[in-house]
């Protein structure tokens, strides 16, 4: 509807900060990595110049080793505006970047998929805008490749062809039950929280956010990674958390397929084949390492113990995005998605689990970005009717309740931050 379209566009107008988009003015006042990808998908409809600007701002902060930081800090904000802030991360200067410009961890590499979507939209508008968008792709392509090389190289801590995350924040699904088993080995030093005050609780409801125990572990893991200058060499011996996430790695695989398309547009045909091969390798590794035949879905693997988590989380459905996923795995994921454990729209966690929490972040609520990825998966496998049902359910949810960060999985009530950028951006894509 025109009303929803206009409200979405106005959220993106309000949250634009000159050269980047903030996810939300109060709760997340800097630039976040995977948010930038989802946001670009929506900006492509209303302001493609800003979509490219936002992606560029993010990749201008790329580290020399190829990692793209999960937050790029806005120097205009104060340390007290967000925790953990720039000084806490203590990232040294690199390239032409000043010290304290970013964090040292990553987020899911959805940017190639986003760049390809923005390009496609531009190309539909004629030769002139296609030409401009192609120039943006030219700038981004080597940087996107460096990001993939970092994740499939230094971050293959398990040695099986998948990227490990070394902090729950890297998944984007911060407090998902997927990490509970691996986090049980991470000390929760609550005294850290009397030294460092949580800022999120001052600007949102405690019941909607991760707990203090979660935060004590999050802070401890930053301190641990920071102590080794964010190096990944020998990390398993000195860092308590390393996990292979099915959703992160599915996005890693989808990124290779988007890079194949981009390489094609840039006239790099040979590279396109390499990207498609790499996508196949990632898909095979996800199937070999993260599939649980008993639950019939994908699960996070603790690299330190080799064990799959028992929790059934939305991240275990996201490999549906991969076109080369074998048919019997596709069927398994679809069965799980259609079962009473999930259903439409898909919640972040198994509805039948004893610790399903309707309010708390990634432990139950419905998130539009996760559902958007699943809708892509349905379309990739030719399930048009189901994709359309999911699209309609998302549009209804946002239309009735507003552009919230996430939603109560039973009542649809908006939770977390209002006027949340990726919800608005993806609403535009779902309406278009």
Q: Which residues participate in catalysis according to the annotation?
A: 174, 405
Closer Cβ to ligand DGY, 200 or 302, answer by number = 200
Considering the complex, state which of residue 50 and residue 70 has its C-beta at the smaller distance from ligand DGY: 70
CB of 365 to ligand DGY, least distance (A): 14
Shortest Å, Cβ 174 to ligand DGY:
5
Per-residue interface string for the shown chain with ligand DGY, residues 175-204, x marking contact by CB under 6 A = -------------------------x----
Residue 214 engages ligand DGY in binding (rule: CB under 6 A): no
**Is the Cα torsion angle 352, 357, 359, 365 positive or negative in sign?**
negative
Nearer to ligand DGY by Cβ, of 121 and 199: the residue is: 199
For ligand DGY, the binding residue among 117, 174, 214, 350 (CB under 6 A) is 174
Show Cβ contacts of residue 362 under 8 Å, excluding neighbours closer than 6 positions.
173, 174, 175, 176, 313, 348, 349
- Nearest C-alpha neighbor of 144 from the set 288, 307, 254: 254
Instruction: Quote the DSSP letter at residue 410.
Output: T
Q: Which is nearer to ligand DGY, 169 or 248 (CB)?
A: 169
Binding mask 60-99 for ligand DGY (x = CB under 6 A): ----------x-----------------------------
CB of 401 to ligand DGY, least distance (A): 21
Smallest separation, CB 218 to ligand DGY (Å): 8
Number of residues forming the site for ligand DGY (CB under 6 A): 4
Of the pair 5, 196, the CB lying nearest ligand DGY is at: 196
For residue 159, the minimal CB distance to ligand DGY (Å) is 27
Q: Classify residue 42 by burial, with Cβ atoms within 10 Å: 0-12, 13-18, 19+.
A: buried
User: At closest approach, how far in Å is the CB of 215 from ligand DGY?
Assistant: 9
Q: Which is nearer to ligand DGY, 174 or 429 (CB)?
A: 174
Interface pick for ligand DGY out of 169, 362, 406, 422 (rule CB under 6 A): 169
- Taking residues 129 to 168 in sequence order and writing x for each that binds ligand DGY by CB under 6 A, - otherwise, the string is ----------------------------------------
Cα 103 to Cα 260: distance, rounded to the nearest angstrom: 29
Q: Which residues contact 292 (CB under 8 A, 6 or more apart)?
A: 298, 299, 308
Q: Where are the alpha helices (DSSP H) in 47-126?
A: 48-60, 86-89, 111-123
* Distant-in-sequence, close-in-space partners of 417: CB < 8 Å, separation ≥ 6: 23, 24, 26, 27, 28, 204, 404, 405
Q: Give min distance, CB of 382 to ligand DGY, in A.
A: 34
SS3 105: coil
Q: Are the beta carbons of 429 and 414 closer than 8 angstroms?
A: no
Neighbours of 10 (CB within 10 A): 14
Nearest to ligand DGY of 67, 70 (CB atom): 70
Rg (alpha carbons) of the chain, rounded to whole number:
20
- Dist CA 406 CA 410 (whole Å): 12
Nearest residue (beta carbon) to ligand DGY: 169
**3-state SS, residue 292:** strand
> Which stretches of the chain bind ligand DGY, using CB under 6 A?
70, 169, 174, 200
């Amino acid at each position: 509807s025109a009303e929803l379209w206009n409200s979405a566009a106005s959220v993106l107008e309000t949250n634009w900060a000159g050269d980047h988009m903030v996810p939300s003015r109060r709760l997340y006042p800097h630039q976040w990595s995977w948010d930038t990808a989802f946001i670009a998908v929506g900006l492509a409809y209303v302001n493609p110049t800003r979509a490219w600007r936002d992606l560029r701002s993010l990749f201008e902060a790329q580290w020399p080793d190829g990692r793209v930081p999960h937050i790029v800090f806005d120097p205009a904000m104060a340390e007290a505006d967000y925790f953990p802030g720039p000084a806490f991360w203590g990232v040294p200067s690199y390239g032409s970047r000043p010290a304290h410009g970013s964090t040292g961890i990553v987020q899911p590499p959805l940017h190639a998929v986003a760049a390809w979507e923005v390009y496609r939209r531009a190309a539909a508008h004629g030769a002139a805008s296609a030409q401009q968008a192609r120039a943006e792709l030219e700038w981004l392509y080597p940087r996107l490749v460096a990001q993939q090389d970092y994740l499939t190289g230094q971050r293959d801590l398990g040695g099986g062809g998948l990227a490990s995350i070394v902090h729950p924040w890297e998944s984007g699904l911060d407090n998902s039950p997927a990490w509970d088993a691996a986090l049980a080995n991470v000390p929760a030093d609550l005294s850290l929280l009397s030294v460092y005050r949580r800022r999120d609780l001052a600007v949102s409801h405690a019941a909607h956010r991760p707990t203090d125990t979660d935060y004590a572990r999050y802070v401890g893991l930053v301190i641990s990674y920071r102590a080794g200058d964010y190096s990944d060499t020998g990390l398993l011996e000195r860092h308590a958390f390393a996990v292979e996430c099915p959703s992160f790695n599915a996005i890693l695989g989808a990124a290779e397929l988007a890079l194949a398309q981009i390489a094609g547009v840039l006239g790099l045909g040979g590279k396109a084949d390499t990207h498609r091969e790499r996508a196949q390798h990632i898909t095979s590794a996800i199937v070999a390492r993260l599939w649980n035949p008993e639950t019939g879905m994908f699960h996070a693997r603790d690299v330190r113990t080799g064990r799959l988590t028992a929790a059934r989380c939305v991240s275990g459905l996201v490999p549906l995005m991969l076109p080369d996923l074998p048919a019997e795995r596709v069927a398994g994921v679809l069965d799980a998605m259609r079962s009473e454990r999930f259903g439409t729209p898909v919640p972040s966690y198994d509805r039948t689990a004893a610790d399903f929490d309707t309010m708390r972040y990634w432990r139950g609520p419905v998130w539009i970005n996760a559902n958007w990825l699943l809708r892509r998966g349905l379309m990739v496998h030719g399930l048009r009717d189901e994709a359309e049902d999911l699209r309609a359910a998302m549009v209804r949810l946002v239309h009735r309740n507003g552009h919230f960060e996430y939603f109560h999985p039973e009542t649809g009530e908006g939770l977390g931050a209002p006027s949340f950028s990726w919800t608005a951006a993806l609403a535009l894509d779902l309406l278009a």
